[in-house]
Chain A
Amino acid sequence: MKRSFISLFLLVILLFAMSSLVMAQDVVKLGFFAPVTGPAAADGESALNSAKLAVEVINEEGGIDGREVQLVEYDDHLDSKQSVSIAQKLTTRDNVVAVVSGSYSGTTRPAATIYQNAKVPMISAYAIHPDIPKTGDYIFQQSFPGPVQGRVGGYMAVDDLGAQKIAILYVDNDFGSTLNDNFQEYVKEKGAEVVYVDSFAIGEREFNPVLTKIKGLNPDLIYVVAYAGEGAAIMRQSVDVGIEAQILGTEGMDSTTQFLQVAGEAAEGLIITTNLNRDSEEEQVIDYINRYTEKYGFAPDMVGASTYDAFMLLAHVMRQVGPDSEAIKDAMYEVEDYMTNTGLLYRYTEVGEAIKPVQVQVVKDGEFHYYDQITDMDIIAP
């Protein structure tokens, strides 16, 4: 009796071991983390939606060499302690072949070290701090790095819009300070005067005192590095206060539901630097926007598009070299002229920074439209 019990027990264990072996061969596991709850939950949800859509599309297209792709997703709560422990889970327990970060720079930076040490490639979808790809050779950025966007902002402000007196308002985190530093460097080099610089915390909604002060300084242009909520408040209150200067924003305000609808008419004429061209005639961009809108009931933003692109890039590479972490890393440096929804990826630098064109969009009749596309290598090469 006892022996039969033991043999039954061993048989069960054997079956489990075999099934997990078979499963491990059957699926390709891709890791993903995003701030699905907490203060950046809207961006987290947008990223997660796109991650799910991307995996669905990859599997419809036959997966990776006939093997199904499985998404292993975690919520980092926009907390770097969480993103680090998630990185440990993904690399040691879930054994994923590659990871996409759908989170901000603050959470992605510390996690990147762990992926690097575990030799698991990670693509940061839209976290743009320049230190992220510098972590090591396994770490890449999907979008152009922050300094590039800051420089393009400076180029638009001075060379395109002809501003000479500039005020700056930026969100006090990695994203805001990176863009502010590089924007300032560019415009000062070009001889423009920065008359006012101020930062604010995420979640700030009251800008009347600051905008009243800026109005008194009478700048030609205000450079605003903000997310959708703060950006919408700045746009509305600058109309209230009576500011007539051109406002130049960044990809943080690239959201239809969260920014354009809340800011309403106050957003008219705003120009932003971003990576998603809403007027693109590329079939894949139109397909992505339509399919996302159909599945989730609202239009995607640049966060979603960037996350989707990161997964598609991984699938593209894995179809060439197979789902192997080491091979994926090597193949990433070979990618050339690959078309993403967020523009043509020319190639990766040896640090893992993407060289991509920067889109400039303008708000007209309550929608983002094409204004310009910056492809000048002097500006967009990191």
Chain B
Amino acid sequence: MFLQQLLNSIAIGSVYALTSMGATLIYGILGILDIANAGAYVLGAYLGLLFYSLTGNIIISFAAAMATTGLLGILIQKYVYRPLLSQPAYIPLIASIGIFIFIENVIRLIAGPTIKQFTVKLPFSNLDYANLHINNVWVLIFIVALILMFLLWYLLKMTKIGLAWRATSQDLDIAKTMGINTNKVISLNFFLGYSFAASAGILIGILYNSIYPTMGSVVSYKMLAIIVLGGLGNPFGTVIAALLIGFIETMVGAYIGFFIPRNAIAFVALVIILLISPKGLFTQKSRI
């Protein structure tokens, strides 16, 4: 029983880690709380289903949906956020909420408000061992999350563009004067941030066999709790924070009962942790 709940909590935590990663990357470089990332999550899921129904190949659909949503990220960055960079932080925040509502409603108008199924046959089935149950989509989520995290780590720590990225996130203006093409770095950052969100949307769509225009609404605020907890813009802190929130939600539900709605638990945890450590679990220094 406890082991099963632990497995449940890891599955939920990995889902949260994946959905919050895009917004974390973007906060890490521009300091913008990008609510529109939840729009990318919805759009990615719909594009994934579209490409899957056209090609019948889930790997191609994954790549195509991630690339398309990533390109949208570059466009949003270039035409919405870049002109607003000199403004106070709440102005791009409001713009991002606007983009999120816009994406949600465009999808509703095109695809309709009803739930669509996202059925994908995986090459491996559910694992049942003794009393323990592991869903096959959870395994897929672990694998995809690990691959994406590894790629991100490699890019940031082992490549030249990763160095430029880290420099830009530390101080944009100084990085620029040092000859770094910060626009290129920021574009790459948004491309990755939005494509990560798209991959999360597709995986969640497959996990629950359903996608719908408002699927991003819980994500849009819960990812905030997670990235704040993870130390704002720290990808590895975000993973830990996501797993922690998944764990707390599951265990509170399993052993104490839902005295408050489950979605509020993340925020209660956030308030308590911020009271103890005002900068989140991880400080700004370790940011990217």
Q: Which residues of A are in contact with B by a Cβ distance under 8 Å? A: 36-39, 41-42, 44-45, 172, 198-201, 203-206, 208-210, 212-213, 216, 228-229, 232-233, 236, 240-242, 257-258, 261-262, 264
Q: A41-B214, A205-B208 are in contact. Are A212 and B1 (CB under 8 A)?
A: yes
Please determine whether A203 and B115 come into contact, CB atoms closer than 8 angstroms. no
**A-B pair number, CB within 8 angstroms:** 92
CB distance from A147 to the nearest CB of B (A): 24
Partner of A229, one of B4, B212, B257: B212
Known: A42-B212, A200-B258, A204-B263. 20 other contacts (CB 8 A): A37-B108, A37-B113, A39-B214, A39-B217, A41-B113, A41-B214, A42-B115, A199-B261, A201-B262, A203-B214, A203-B218, A210-B254, A216-B1, A232-B208, A233-B208, A236-B209, A240-B133, A257-B114, A262-B115, A264-B209
Type the 1/0 row for B229-253, where 1 means its CB is closer than 8 Å to any CB of A: 0000000000000000000011001
A267 shortest CB reach to chain B, Å: 12
Q: A199 and B258 in contact (CB under 8 A), knowing A37-B105, A209-B250, A212-B5?
A: yes
Contacting A at CB under 8 A, from B1-51, are: 1, 4-5, 8-9, 11-12
**Contact status A212-B258, CB under 8 Å:** no
Smallest CB–CB gap between A354 and chain B, Å? 28
Task: Note all chain B residues with C-beta closer than 8 A to A261.
Answer: 117
Q: Are A209's CB and B210's CB within 8 A? A: no
- Given known contacts A38-B214, A199-B258, is B117 in contact with A262 (CB within 8 Å)? yes
Q: Inside 8 A of B117's CB, which chain A residues have their CB? A: 261-262, 264
Contacts of A209 in B (CB 8 A): 5, 8-9, 12, 249-250, 253-254
Interface string of B84-106 (1 = CB under 8 A from A): 00000000000000000000010
What's the minimum C-beta distance from A301 to chain B, rounded to whole angstroms? 10
Taking a contact as CB atoms closer than 8 A, the residue among B5, B213, B214, B257 that contacts A198 in the complex is B257
Q: How far is the CB of A234 from chain B (nearest CB, A)?
A: 11
B113 to A212, Cβ gap below 8 A? no
B126 within 8 A of A: yes
- Bound form: Cα–Cα A267–B9 in Å: 25
Ordered by A's residue number, 30 sampled pairs between the chains whose C-beta atoms are within 8 Å are A37-B108, A38-B214, A42-B113, A42-B115, A45-B113, A198-B258, A199-B261, A200-B258, A201-B262, A203-B214, A203-B218, A208-B11, A209-B249, A210-B253, A210-B254, A212-B4, A212-B8, A212-B254, A213-B253, A228-B115, A229-B115, A229-B210, A229-B212, A232-B209, A236-B209, A241-B133, A242-B133, A262-B115, A262-B117, A264-B209
Q: Does B135 sit at the interface, judged by CB under 8 A?
A: yes
* Complex Cα gap A38–B5 (Å): 33
In the complex, chain A residues whose CB is within 8 Å of the CB of B217? 39, 203
A101 vs chain B, min Cβ distance (A): 18
- A208–B251 Cα gap in the complex (Å)? 12
Nearest CB in chain A to that of B15: its residue: A206
B212 CB contacts on chain A under 8 angstroms: 42, 229
B112 interface residue (CB < 8 Å to A): yes
* A208 contacts across to B, CB distance below 8 A: 8, 11-12
For A210, list chain B residues within 8 Å (CB).
253-254
Contact A262 B250 (CB under 8 A): no
